[in-house]
Amino acid sequence: MGLLDNIRGASTAAIGAAGDYLRRADDGVGFEDMQDALVKGGLAEPTEEKPRGLFHDPYSVMDWGGWRQRPSILTYDTLRQMTVSNTVIAAIIQTRINQVAQFAVPQQGPYDKGYRVILRDRRDKNKAMSKAEQNRATELERMIETTGYMLPDEKSYDRDTFRSFLKKIVRDCLTYDQICIEKLRDRKGRVSRFIALPAETIRPAVADIEHMDPKDRRERVAYVQVYEDSVIAEFGPDDLAWGVMNPRTDLRVNGFGYSPIEQIVRLVTAWLYGFEYNTKFFSQGSAIKGVINVKGAIPDKQLRAFRRMWYSMVTGVQNSWKTPILNAEDLQWVSLHSNNREMEYAEWMNFLTKLICAVFGIDPMEIGFIFGSSGSGSSLFESRPNEQEVRSPMK
């Protein structure tokens, strides 16, 4: 009998035992009862069996430097530039940063914003924290507020506060979908301080961790910091915390997340085109408003004088809206300008703004946009912030 037959027989026996346990139970079987049944059936025991599937592209040519590259046409610098050039994205990221930063202090009252250190297992509502546990929780809250334990001669302004720390990682998360936190430990191996690293410089090291033994996983180089195509620092799996908001199983993404900005490349491009067109519409006046057609025979000297006088009176900023003046038999105005209502510029820009907000999971009202024919509804400055945070899917 082979290994597969043994596994198949053990699985069949375990499932049968779990089924017998559940059949002997009452009709109202809860999730905990099912867990107990599976444990008693033997399905919850750890195994040393290695997965057989692939988790990374074995033929990737982007791992030549010893680290995994981000397989995207958008580089880290391009993603950062898009957050600067697009005002809607900048407003979304800044709004989320400000909202998260409100929870960067220990909570004082039961309804105040902030964070608390509590017992992890809260299913037993009758169990309260002991005095020693409360003191330990208070100590951890102070440590978090200063991003670690401070040295005797160290001041709070010598390092980032927890508020600054949150602002940095939220911006990296919404820009690159990548958070990198270095953990500094004391001589006993306990985390003594944590620092937000620039996410655009951290790469996963090339390693087949899914098929490694647990001991080899702990001793390997898990991440590297790359600057100018050179490794300047190495981190073990316990030295750095790597996190993504949108993980993917795609072999070709090398474990990187899916940035919201990558999902809206076409929307951002269309928004920038529309914004730039409207900006040049007022600054350069590439589209003329009309033509002055002077009918009849007029001497060139008088026509040039009239053209100079007209341009000096009606030419716009940066020499925009220069009206062509033609010589003909009569003075006539030919309008070539369509108003914004006819061109539907506003509707197009509003549509793009709504789609960008939808991808980021934010209500447009949170960044000050009010949509609707009647103009009803509450804006960022009219509604209460607590209600907006509750409604937000990305709070």
93 and 191 assigned to the same domain: yes
92 and 200 assigned to the same domain: yes
CB-CB contact of 236 with 222 (8 Å): yes
The tokens for 375 are: 């103009």
Instruction: Identify which has the larger pLDDT, 216 or 231.
Output: 231
Choose the final residue of a domain: 118, 143, 160. Answer: 160
Question: Worst-scoring range by mean pLDDT, 22-26, 50-54, 125-129, 266-270?
Answer: 22-26
Q: DSSP character for 388? A: H
Q: 337 in a domain, yes or no?
A: no
pLDDT per residue as tens digits for the range 94-120: 999 999 999 999 998 888 999 999 888
CB-CB contact of 306 with 274 (8 Å): no
Q: What is the DSSP string of 4-71?
A: HHHHHHHHHHHHHHHHHHHHHS-S---HHHHHHHHHHHTTTS---PPP-S--S-TT-SS-TTSB----
Question: Worst-scoring range by mean pLDDT, 53-62, 193-202, 324-333?
Answer: 324-333
The tokens for 322 are: 């220069």
Instruction: Identify which has the larger pLDDT, 30 or 234.
Output: 234
Choose the final residue of a domain: 160, 190, 205. Answer: 160
pLDDT per residue as tens digits for the range 72-97: 888 999 999 999 989 999 999 999 99
pLDDT for residue 262: 92
Q: 261 in a domain, yes or no?
A: no
Average pLDDT of the residues of the chain: 78
188 and 95 assigned to the same domain: yes
Sheet holding 240-243, edge to edge: 191-196, 179-185, 240-243
10 and 130 assigned to the same domain: no
62 and 76 assigned to the same domain: yes
Choose the final residue of a domain: 255, 279, 312. Answer: 255
pLDDT for residue 395: 47
| H or E element in which residue 248 lies | none
What SS3 state is found at 334?
strand
As a whole-number percent, the residues of the chain with pLDDT over 90 amount to: 35
CB-CB contact of 241 with 197 (8 Å): no
- Give me the number of domains the chain comprises: 3
- The residues with which 125 forms a beta bridge, in sequence order, are none
Q: 329 in a domain, yes or no?
A: no
35 and 66 assigned to the same domain: no
| Residue 263 neighbours by CB under 8 Å, 6+ apart | 359
Asked if residue 370 has pLDDT above 50, the reply is yes
97 and 214 assigned to the same domain: yes
pLDDT for residue 375: 43
- Neighbouring CB atoms inside 10 A of 379's CB total 14
pLDDT per residue as tens digits for the range 232-241: 999 988 899 9
The model's confidence at residue 380, banded by pLDDT at 50, 70 and 90, is very low
220 is in which domain, residue-wise? 54-101+165-255
Instruction: Identify which has the larger pLDDT, 109 or 40.
Output: 109
Sheet holding 223-227, edge to edge: 202-204, 223-227, 230-235
Q: 313 in a domain, yes or no?
A: no
CA separation for the pair 388, 395 (Å, rounded): 9
pLDDT for residue 318: 53
pLDDT per residue as tens digits for the range 41-55: 555 677 777 777 877
Q: 31 in a domain, yes or no?
A: yes
pLDDT for residue 337: 57
180 and 245 assigned to the same domain: yes
Number of H helices, E strands in the chain: 13, 9
Beta strands at 230-235 and 223-227: parallel, antiparallel or unpaired? antiparallel
The tokens for 142 are: 């102070």
The residue-averaged pLDDT of 293-298 equals: 65
The winner for highest mean pLDDT among 119-123, 149-153, 240-244, 372-376 is 240-244
pLDDT for residue 18: 55
Q: What is the DSSP string of 128-153?
A: ---HHHHHHHHHHHHHHHTTBPPPTT
C-alpha torsion sign, points 394, 266, 197, 155: negative
Q: 279 in a domain, yes or no?
A: no
Instruction: Identify which has the larger pLDDT, 179 or 289.
Output: 179
Asked if residue 313 has pLDDT above 70, the reply is no
Q: Where are the beta strands (DSSP E) in the chain?
A: 179-185, 191-196, 202-204, 223-227, 230-235, 240-243, 290-294, 325-327, 331-335
pTM attached to this predicted model: 0.70
Among 172, 167, 135, 164, CA closest to 147:
164
203 phi/psi in degrees, rounded to 5: -130, 145
Asked if residue 269 has pLDDT above 60, the reply is yes
Q: 360 in a domain, yes or no?
A: no
The residue-averaged pLDDT of 124-141 equals: 86
Half-sphere exposure of 216 (CA within 13 A, CB side): 7
The residue-averaged pLDDT of 316-335 equals: 55
- Neighbouring CB atoms inside 10 A of 169's CB total 21
- The residues with which 240 forms a beta bridge, in sequence order, are 182
